[in-house]
Structures are given as structure tokens and as C-alpha cells.
Chains A and B, each alone.
Chain A
Amino acid sequence: EVQLVESGGGLVQPGGSLRLSCAASGFSFSSYHMNWVRQAPGQGLEWVSYISSSSLTIYYADSVKGRFTISRDNAENSLYLQMDSPRDEDTAMYYCARDRSSGWPGVFDIWGQGALVTVAS
């Protein structure tokens, strides 16, 4: 079964740090581009970051640029999001999402169940 499972969510203080992980199974992880998408409580979806299959290309939303770092370990079939200096407005459910195609990126065909991050003192 194709599956993405996030972990690492929880309560973090403003200015602290937290690392989210996403474990992939059931497909050739190293062949797919990956993303993080978040959803604040009761709000809509916001794309956060993209990493190509080889890690050569990375993009961030302006709202997290300079504070969050996306990475992956293809040998471990894992995707990561290092969240440094989080702010109250980073409180959200964080989803890892697979890019459908190895070509033009941006269509998310497989999603994890989400990891809830709460930023509060």
C-alpha cells in the first residue's frame, strides 16, 4: 500500500525548534518529488515547501523562508521539515504530500494523515 506517515508534531515554544518526519512506503520514494502542505485550524490549505527527488531543487513559501528547512533521505525513504524559530502563525496540521509526476511538479496525489504542530508558550 502506498503510504505516507508523518511524525514529530507537538507543542513547541515560539523561537524554539521542531523536526517533522514523513515515512514513505509502498512506492519508489527516490523517484518522486515531495512537498509539505499545512492547514491552520479551521483554515484552508497552504503549500509550504518542495524538494525534488534528488534534493537538487528546493522551494519555500515566503512565510517560512529562512526559518524552515526541507530535506530528504532517499536511503531511509524519509522526508523532513526542520522548523526553526516557529511563530504562533505556524500552528497547523502539517501534511507531507507526494508529487504525482516526475515531470511538471505541483500535483499532490498521495497525502499523509498529518502532524499537528502547536506553537505556544
Chain B
Amino acid sequence: AIRMTQSPSSFSASTGDRVFITCRASQDIGSYLAWYQQKPGKAPKLLIYAASTLQSGVPSRFSGSGSGTDFTLTISCLQSEDFATYYCQQYYNYPFTFGPATKVDIK
């Protein structure tokens, strides 16, 4: 199975900050990467797929980049509603695998 890693595992930030979350795959997955946001007690929400395509309805302050094995989720101007946990996920092949998560909390 393809192993996904994320960094950092957690960090604190302030509203208005530009933040970066990185994700690495254990092998080349092309652009078959998605990002999800999850808030406590809620189901995950799709943010980005195909590494850089914004899901409909997701604010444009979210963006994704990368291909192959290294990917980045960028939030250009952190808003209060963005404090949450973020997961990357590869869908290059089965089993689909998720990263271990990055938790963003308030500084």
C-alpha cells in the first residue's frame, strides 16, 4: 500500500496567516491526490482533488500544488472557520490511503 505522510502533525496559527501543509507519498502518484478538512464531530469535507482542483463551493483561499510524491495545501489567509484537521489522500491505486492528519489550531 502507498504510505502517506504529512507535516507538520500540528501547529498553531493566527487569523490572517498564510499556512502550508505538506504531504508526501511513498511512491509516484501523479496528481491523484485529494485534501479534506474535518472539524470535531463532523464528517470530512472535500477541499481539493487532482492535487490542485478546487472543489465547488470551497473558498479560493485554499489551493493545492504538487505532483509525483510531494504536495502542498496552502491557505492564503487563515480564517476562524479554517481551524480544523486536514488530511491528504491518494487515489492512485487501492487501497486508498490517507495521511495521518495535520491539526491547525489557534495561536
Contacts and interface: CB of A to CB of B under 8 A. Distances in A.
Are A and B genuine complex partners?
A: yes
Contacts, number: 58
Query: Which label, helix, strand, loop or mixed, suits the secondary structure of the B interface?
Result: loop
A76 to B, nearest CB: 22
A17 to B, nearest CB: 23
How big is the B interface, by class? 20 to 34
A37 to B, nearest CB: 8
Name, among A35, A45, A59, the residue most crowded by chain B CB atoms within 10 Å (CB to CB): A45
Interface residues of A, number: 22
A1 to B, nearest CB: 13
Contacts of A37: 44
Contacts of A109: 46, 55
Interface of A: 35, 37, 44-47, 50, 59, 61-62, 95, 100, 104-109, 111-114
B87 interface: yes
A107 B46 contact: yes
Nearest to A37: B44
Given A44-B101, A45-B44, A111-B43, A50 B49 contact: no
B96 interface: yes
Contact of B96 (A44, A47, A62, A100): A47
B89 interface: yes
Contacts of A107: 34, 46, 49-50, 91
